[in-house]
Structure 1
């Protein structure tokens, strides 16, 4: 692969290369600003419209709409120099958020602008994931993915806290201006990266390149198993955060503060998982194999939901649920690091952007479907039964995924 850093170059896998440090810094700043502005926009839409449906539409514009263009986003990541593409995406996002800050438009134009920003972010994501193998030594790939996950997770956790601190002083426009500036700073940091052209630049049209990426995802057995297993577990368990809020309020009969604390347990587990894997991820992957770590992460995250529903009525249920949800976070960290590392090792560099874009686009669609189907189950059966059913389905999917990957014997 062009300009990929290898062990033979003399790089110490325990030392973070400068280019990767720049990517970490850019991602952390951008994610914190993005989380900050989303809180501000949710509060703005809620107060200006008074409609919960409007807030839901805002979230769909930011989360679901980008998944519809995932095949084309990946094709772009394999067609152009990834450094320039990431810089361009950050600048597009900066400009879009600046327009929102200046105009604070009515709901429908606002949704359109949020969708534009989200699509630019969707193009950025596969390019950044595909760039990681070019910025870290091969022996430190899992640790590098874990560090990237750790930085972005901490940044996302910090975003709402920054919003709470800055909104009273800066207002909605000021907070959005901070987010626009964060994208500019991120783009400036990314200019320090080396050239990141894919090893085999795609020369196909955008449409044909998107079809090629989908065909590779469907045709490569191991990649297909990873994608199907990931999406199946998300389809089963994507409703878990909504169910957790209902569980806290209706079954555990706690206040909003405890409900927020239970939701925060996942972030705590994620942070701990990423921190552990940033130190031990490659060694653990060498011992177990990335397919085993991936399947284990699917199983642990699902079991966390199953056990949460099962213990909903025991003594000290809130404390037990907190522990189960922290364990779920550990599993999600394992899923993220193992899936990224496995695909980075298996997929040719010229197709890597499309595989990542299609995978995470499909995962986003599975999550949206889980919200709908899980919401129906939640209304019909209640939170404990929903969590047990979701967790049990996820565990079954995880076991089937592990068996399929084991049969393939992929390391």
Structure 2
């Protein structure tokens, strides 16, 4: 049985190097959000089909999942600081190429897939680097601050895109994103060298190491339960953004502005949750936080399906945002505590790849369910499925991980 060592009470001390990592993430996430809006508008204008925009989003979200065992292996084989800097610089170069050529859709999709894969590689390396930059008792706060910074940046991005697009156009906005990657790489130079701990025994080949990374998810019971539960909740609840549009419009008969209000409630709850965890997370046991987050995320959608007014849906989705922040912070922190440094990049690469697959399953399956039934039924089924996954995780995880009192 693995014992989770809860962090002592008191505010964690965050090193300047970790603050540099946070700022670099915020800068590049803002740029990413801005360029995504520009690319969606460009594809919608040139291709003239909603399917083309959907392909753009699908390639950006799903393509990295297909190679996540390999990108995670890179994060466990290469000095993580050098890898992060390199990923940012190459992503910036890809954006410059797109901005200068505005290529036809097939080439654009290939370049977007490449950029997204580099971003996934960076994500695995950055999450694996956190335990090297902060103390073990500081992990919860560190992950909360990373979550707050990146999600806050994603929220600001579309507004910044609206302000820049009319002035700079598509090419200019894409070049702004490219510049954000250069700034991010510059900030990362403040981080010390992060060589990966050598694995005991004979050095594995690259592909053998990638296969071993997949096995790591299944071999450690606690890691397996965390990943499966997280992905199950995403698979059930990922359709909620689409379902909420139809709930507000067709069931609650509210104006279009109310759709943005309800969707914004999730973001408000998410950011509030990260801030609360950044302040008090060091004292929180991670297993109950994970289970509570999984349950609150799912219960928020289930109850939203029963909502009688926009105000009720807004409150419930705000609470759901708190749950998402809790499950994200707890899952990242638990994985960083449970997995050795030699395998941490692969575990995070495969974890986020699996989450991407779960989201794609939710979009497809949830979309079919929404077409066959209604928004309230879809949300109730999604929330119920997520709650069952949370209950299953609670019954198994508490026998595997015993938190300190």
TM over 0.5: yes
Name the counterpart of 1:263.
263
Name the counterpart of 1:234.
234
Q: Which of 379, 382, 386 is the aligned partner of 1:387?
A: 379
The Cα of 1:410 is off from its aligned counterpart by 3.6
Name the counterpart of 1:301.
297
Is 1:17 paired with 2:9? no
SS at match of 2:204: coil
The CA distance in 2 between the partners of 1:268 and 1:253, in whole Å, is 23
Name the counterpart of 1:94.
92
Name the counterpart of 2:4.
none
The CA distance in 2 between the partners of 1:70 and 1:410, in whole Å, is 30
8 Å Cα contact 2:11/2:279 also seen in 1: no
Return the TM-score normalized by structure 1.
0.94
8 Å Cα contact 2:222/2:401 also seen in 1: no
The CA distance in 1 between the partners of 2:242 and 2:205, in whole Å, is 41
8 Å Cα contact 1:13/1:139 also seen in 2: no
8 Å Cα contact 2:85/2:185 also seen in 1: yes
Name the counterpart of 1:195.
193
8 Å Cα contact 1:305/1:328 also seen in 2: yes
Name the counterpart of 1:3.
none
The CA distance in 2 between the partners of 1:266 and 1:13, in whole Å, is 27
8 Å Cα contact 1:78/1:201 also seen in 2: no
| 1:51-106 alpha-carbon deviations (Å, 9 max, x no partner) | 00000000011100001010001100000110000001001100001101111111
The CA distance in 1 between the partners of 2:86 and 2:318, in whole Å, is 37
User: Across the two proteins, how many residue pairs are aligned to each other?
Assistant: 393
Name the counterpart of 1:4.
none
The Cα of 1:238 is off from its aligned counterpart by 1.1
Q: Which of 119, 122, 126 is the aligned partner of 1:121?
A: 119
The Cα of 1:14 is off from its aligned counterpart by 3.2
The CA distance in 2 between the partners of 1:248 and 1:200, in whole Å, is 54
Q: CA RMSD in A?
A: 1.3
The CA distance in 2 between the partners of 1:369 and 1:45, in whole Å, is 24
The Cα of 1:255 is off from its aligned counterpart by 2.6
- Gapped runs of 5+ residues in structure 1? 1-6
| 1:15-52 alpha-carbon deviations (Å, 9 max, x no partner) | 32110010011000000000110011111111111100
The CA distance in 2 between the partners of 1:113 and 1:201, in whole Å, is 34
Is 1:346 paired with 2:338? yes
Q: Which of 355, 359, 368 is the aligned partner of 1:376?
A: 368
The CA distance in 1 between the partners of 2:280 and 2:365, in whole Å, is 37
Name the counterpart of 2:128.
130
The CA distance in 2 between the partners of 1:404 and 1:14, in whole Å, is 30
Which has the higher mean CA deviation after the structures are superposed, 79-88 or 41-50? Answer: 41-50
Q: Which of 51, 54, 79 is the aligned partner of 2:52?
A: 54
The CA distance in 1 between the partners of 2:217 and 2:13, in whole Å, is 33
Is 1:319 paired with 2:316? no
| 1:256-281 alpha-carbon deviations (Å, 9 max, x no partner) | 22111211111111100000000101
Q: Which of 326, 346, 366 is the aligned partner of 1:334?
A: 326
Which has the higher mean CA deviation after the structures are superposed, 355-364 or 13-22? Answer: 13-22
The Cα of 1:216 is off from its aligned counterpart by 1.0
The Cα of 1:201 is off from its aligned counterpart by 5.3
Name the counterpart of 2:306.
310
The Cα of 1:170 is off from its aligned counterpart by 0.5
The Cα of 1:13 is off from its aligned counterpart by 5.2
SS at match of 1:310: coil
SS at match of 1:249: helix
The Cα of 1:409 is off from its aligned counterpart by 2.9
8 Å Cα contact 1:145/1:340 also seen in 2: yes
